[in-house]
Amino acid sequence: MANLLFNKWDLSEVEVSDLGLVNYICLEENDVPHTSGRHVKRQFAKSKVSIVERLMNKIMKSHVNSGKKNKAYNIVKEALDIIHEKTKKNPVQILVTAVENTAPREETTRIKYGGIGYQVAVDISPQRRVDLSLGFITNGTYRSAFKNKKSAGECLANELLLASNEDSRSFAIQKKEEKERVAKAAH
């Protein structure tokens, strides 16, 4: 039997094209993406949590949805349905492509040397790249959903579609480019 997310989408046909993120975008899933936090106490175990559940967990980070897994579940499910209606493609593939496109490769860190602090460009680990990408996507969703008639699911679907197409209107793409531009200036 195939691995179906929400009993609709086959995860075995989803491919990760960014070789640096292959081990960090988990696509092993059963019917419901909910692990009940079994990964929390082990270092680097969140790379074994499905990318869909990690998106739900990022949605729960805001003060409005804090701890409301069922609400986050419904937002993501609605967004995936909308993406499927618009594109007729596997929405999880759109999510994976959006994460790959919005994951920055460089950022800056502050170094203090002799009482003087300055910024130095550093490469980002794959785990942090995925975390930043999901954070950018959810922040863009919150910004577009705030004081808007659209539901959070519609805004998330729109953000994922824009990010997967590398559209400059996407908040996540803008944040990625800003982070990489600052890192380039610090070389």
* Joined tokens for residue 140: 């863009």
Instruction: Give the whole-angstrom CA distance, residue 46 versus residue 39.
Output: 6
pLDDT attached to residue 2: 59
Residues of the chain with pLDDT under 50: 1
Q: How far apart are CA 32 and CA 41, in angstroms?
A: 22
Report the alpha-carbon distance of residue 24 to residue 93 in Å, rounded: 15
Strand partners, 119: 110
pLDDT for the residue 131: 92
pLDDT at 68: 83
What is the structure's pLDDT at 120?
92
Name the burial class of residue 20, with classes exposed (0-12), middle (13-18) and buried (19+) by CB atoms within 10 angstroms of its CB.
middle
Q: What is the pLDDT of residue 30?
A: 62
Give the Cα separation of 87 and 141 in Å (integer). 19
Q: Which residue has the tokens 């729960």?
A: 60
Number of domains within the chain: 1
Q: What is the pLDDT of residues 138-173, one digit of tens each?
A: 999 989 988 889 999 999 999 999 999 999 999 999
Q: Which domain holds residue 174?
A: 4-185
DSSP 148-178: -SS-HHHHHHHHHHHHHTT-TT-HHHHHHHH
Q: Where are the alpha helices (DSSP H) in the chain?
A: 51-59, 69-87, 91-102, 126-145, 152-164, 171-185
Look at the chain and count its residues.
187
CATH number for position 22:
1.10.455.10
